[in-house]
């Protein structure tokens, strides 16, 4: 028994380290190749970085301004996160605190709509934005996030278990208006849950590909995922080093952010999945 343990422990660690290498090596290849010129990349793979980083950057910037895509993605994702956080909290508060006609039906309807995949209404969504004249703008990417059923559902569950009705009664007796109560009492209480959901909302919006692909036409408005596709089809693709660099620029900041936030991100995945 003891002997077996001594044997299996190194095997387990070797397995784990191997998986960690597999998880990371494509990123490593990307970073190394981003610093090498076309000729070197064609000749074979090495583990040592090259010296063509600045040349690759210049070549890429001649064709595509990647920072612009970065800015667009930031604008969209931050707006989406803020709007979805605020309005979901508002809606969750409405459902958790007040009793009104049709409340249960509306809530049930919202839950049912949560199951509907995004592609179902895609064509109608495109046509609607054509009629509204909002194609090739950020509006179809940002405004719909006001209605995020999953976030509402999560916040309502959170609110009904953390906010005591006596708190509201006390505020009402002090003469606070209902919206004042929401802003000064309920919203701060919900903040941890809003933060948890915000991480998901932000990543989801940052990675969204199909909607921006459908509604945006001008390259200067492209978000990062769409810009990546554009990069592949453009002249840059002939210079592999530049293409690798473009991908690296889209990826590395997220990896750095993850270094700082990984604990929160991982605990929010766990919190979102385990309901018991």
**Which residue's CB is nearer to another protein, number 62 or number 209?**
209
**Which residue's CB is nearer to another protein, number 82 or number 146?**
146
**Which residue's CB is nearer to another protein, number 24 or number 67?**
24
* Residue whose entry in the numeric block shows the structure tokens 């009104």: 100
195-199: long-range contacts, CB 8 A cutoff, minimum separation 24? 195/264, 196/154, 196/264, 196/268, 196/271, 196/272, 197/84, 197/85, 197/88, 197/151, 197/154, 197/155, 197/268, 198/81, 198/84, 198/85, 199/261, 199/264, 199/265, 199/268
Q: Tell which residue, 224, 189, 183, has the closest CA to residue 207.
A: 224
**Which residue's CB is nearer to another protein, number 188 or number 229?**
229
Q: Tell which residue, 146, 254, 266, has the closest CA to residue 196.
A: 266
Shortest distance (Å) from residue 32 CB to another protein: 8
**Which residue's CB is nearer to another protein, number 143 or number 195?**
143
Shortest distance (Å) from residue 105 CB to another protein: 12
Shortest distance (Å) from residue 51 CB to another protein: 18
Shortest distance (Å) from residue 121 CB to another protein: 3
Shortest distance (Å) from residue 88 CB to another protein: 8
**Which residue's CB is nearer to another protein, number 95 or number 138?**
95
Any idea what the Cα angle at residue 78 is, between residues 76 and 82, rounded to 5°? 120
How many angstroms separate the Cα of 77 from the Cα of each of 88, 178, 208? 16, 30, 10
Q: How far apart are CA 32 and CA 238, in angstroms?
A: 18
Shortest distance (Å) from residue 128 CB to another protein: 5
């Amino acid at each position: 028994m003891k002997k077996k343990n001594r044997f299996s422990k190194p095997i387990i660690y070797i397995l784990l380290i191997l998986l960690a290498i597999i998880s990371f090596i494509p990123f490593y290849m990307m970073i190394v190749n981003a610093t090498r010129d076309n000729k070197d990349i064609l000749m074979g793979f090495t583990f040592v970085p090259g010296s063509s980083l600045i040349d690759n950057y210049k070549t890429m910037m001649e064709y595509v301004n990647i920072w612009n895509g970065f800015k667009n993605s930031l604008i969209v994702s931050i707006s989406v996160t803020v709007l979805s956080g605020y309005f979901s909290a508002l809606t969750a508060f409405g459902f958790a605190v007040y009793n009104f006609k049709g409340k249960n039906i509306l809530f049930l309807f919202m839950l049912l709509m949560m199951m509907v995949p995004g592609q179902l209404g895609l064509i109608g969504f495109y046509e609607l934005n054509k009629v509204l004249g909002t194609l090739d703008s950020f509006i179809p990417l940002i405004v719909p996030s006001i209605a995020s059923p999953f976030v509402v559902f999560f916040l309502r569950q959170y609110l009904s278990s953390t906010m005591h009705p006596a708190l509201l009664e006390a505020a009402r007796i002090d003469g606070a208006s209902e919206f004042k109560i929401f802003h000064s009492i309920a919203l701060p209480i919900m903040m941890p849950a809003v933060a948890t959901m915000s991480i998901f909302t932000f990543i989801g919006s940052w990675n969204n590909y199909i909607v921006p692909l459908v509604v945006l036409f001008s390259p200067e408005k492209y978000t990062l995922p769409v810009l990546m596709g554009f990069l592949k089809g453009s002249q840059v693709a002939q210079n592999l080093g530049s293409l690798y660099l473009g991908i690296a620029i889209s990826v590395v900041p997220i990896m750095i952010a993850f270094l700082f936030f990984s604990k929160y991100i991982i605990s929010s995945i766990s919190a979102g999945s385990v309901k018991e």
